[in-house]
Amino acid sequence: MKGLLEEIGISELSAEQLEKLCETGEQAARRYILSKVPERRISTLDITIDTEGSKPVTVNVEVAIALSPLMKRFDADKLAKEATEKAFQAINQYLRELSCKSTK
């Protein structure tokens, strides 16, 4: 995510924008996981999104998931990686929307 703010044309994010960025990524990861696995089959789901710095901002996304023993054929690590990708895609989209608003 480093360098992305400059590429998109955003100089710095406010505290509110950083909070929204984290919420956007977390919601995207959670939606993706729940679209693949019923909630009752998830034993543990931890989604952590944090930011470092302000210019440029670095975004870290971690998704940890433990599934019910009934889901033994399901690859939880692969699901976590895919959910992480979805979170970054949503964050990227949010930043691009901010860029459009800041140029108007």
- Interval 1-48: pLDDT, tens: 434 444 455 667 888 988 999 999 999 999 999 999 999 999 999 999
pLDDT on residue 9: 52
Q: Spell out the domains of the chain, with CATH numbers in brackets.
A: 4-97 (3.30.300.100)
**pLDDT of 51 higher than 50:** yes
Q: What is the pTM of this model?
A: 0.84
**Are 20 and 98 spatial neighbours (Cβ–Cβ below 8 Å)?**
no
Which contacts qualify for 100-104: CB closer than 8 Å, 24 or more apart? 102/9, 102/10, 103/9
Q: What confidence score (pLDDT) does residue 10 get?
A: 61
pLDDT (average), residues 38-67: 90
When pLDDT is averaged across residues 65-75 and rounded to a whole number, the result is 92
